[in-house]
Amino acid sequence: MSEIELVCTELGPALDVLRGSGFRLDIIYPADSPHTAILAKDSATVRLTTEPGAVPADALPQFKPEFVHTPTGEGAGEGRAGMLYRDLIPSRLGGRYIASHIMIPEGGPVSDWVHYHHVRFQMIYVRSGWVRVAYENQGEPFVMVAGDLVLQPPEIRHRVFESSPGLEVVEIGCPALHPTLADHEMALPNRLGDPQRSFSGQRFLRHIAADTPWTPFLTGEAQETAMGQATGGIAQVRTIRTGGATLTFPPHAGELAFGFVLDGTARLNSHGDHPLSASDSFVIPPSEPWSIEDASSDFRLLHVTTAAIE
């Protein structure tokens, strides 16, 4: 099969032209701001790109820790399937991690297709609204609402069908640059398979907030998840509320220590004092203590940590 590289100035219009002439989209990346797509028709393959040479690395990029505070005012741009993506870790920590605040303002059907990703870790957490999704061998489509999350283990097929107006989710992935690959053969939903099936040592996880009790965490409370078991120890995820108390976090021994403010206001004590409000996010470097202080009564935080990923 022959392959041609076409360099364009804008990916979207050029992609529409090729798809309109019968080319099938097989791969696109990155999801938050696509610059490259691979399409096929008969015996021809076209690599369409605005950034020649920008390809996902075979090896996992080296982790480069740093303190990051991303205020809510940062803008969002159009990403894959017409969704709006707000970049929460602009430096990507050396290309190791990507975190996106994804929004669908209008709601309704989503122009998604059955696809999968080459990743080491990927999770989606619903901040507000609802979204209907389906996953390989997990039965009928289901609805996720605020506080729910899924772990998308490596290469599990999935699809987004529709959402409420004002849907907001937080997605975290490793590595930062990874392709979205279409599966043209599989239709979702498909049969209900083994819910404990292993995907590269991980298993699908659906966490339902409404079924999860609040339990003590430091001087506050948290809704814990089974992320540690599902990932084989790669990650831990919880929703935290402080009850107005100061929360002092011990140094993290792994890689990522990420926070996203779901509601309320507070002050982050790390590398100085930083006021926090809803939709702010931050990353704390490993081996450094930090604290949440002066939190409002409605303050809630999405807290994600990872081990050293091989």
Give a yes or no: residue 63 inside a domain. no
Query: 185, 209, 233 — which closes off a domain?
Result: 209
pLDDT of residue 77 exceeding 90: no
Q: How confident is the model at residue 71 (pLDDT cuts 50, 70, 90)?
A: very high
pLDDT score recorded for residue 118:
93
The pLDDT tens digits for 279-307 are 999 999 999 999 999 999 999 999 999 99
**Are residue 141 and residue 228 in the same domain, yes or no?**
no
**Are residue 143 and residue 203 in the same domain, yes or no?**
yes
pTM > 0.85: yes or no? yes
**Are residue 84 and residue 175 in the same domain, yes or no?**
yes
Helices (H) and strands (E) in the chain, counts: 2, 28
**Domain span at 105:** 73-209
The pLDDT tens digits for 88-99 are 999 999 999 999
User: What would the two tokens of residue 101 be?
Assistant: 């605040």
pLDDT over 70 percentage in the chain: 96
**Are residue 82 and residue 164 in the same domain, yes or no?**
yes
The pLDDT tens digits for 150-209 are 999 999 999 999 999 999 999 999 999 999 999 999 999 987 777 788 999 999 999 999
pLDDT score recorded for residue 62:
95
Q: Nearest Cα to 120, choosing from 55, 57, 202?
A: 202
What separation in angstroms does the CA of 144 have from each of 46, 84, 126, 256? 36, 18, 7, 25
pLDDT score recorded for residue 195:
74
pLDDT score recorded for residue 111:
87
pLDDT score recorded for residue 79:
62
Query: 184, 209, 234 — which closes off a domain?
Result: 209
**Are residue 234 and residue 202 in the same domain, yes or no?**
no
pLDDT score recorded for residue 58:
85
Contact status, residue 160 vs residue 272, Cβ threshold 8 Å = no
**Are residue 149 and residue 132 in the same domain, yes or no?**
yes
Give a yes or no: residue 96 inside a domain. yes
Contact status, residue 72 vs residue 280, Cβ threshold 8 Å = yes
**Domain tally, the chain:** 3
**Are residue 143 and residue 266 in the same domain, yes or no?**
no
**Are residue 196 and residue 217 in the same domain, yes or no?**
no
User: What would the two tokens of residue 29 be?
Assistant: 């990346």
pLDDT score recorded for residue 1:
55
Round to whole Å and give the CA distance between 99 and 213. 26
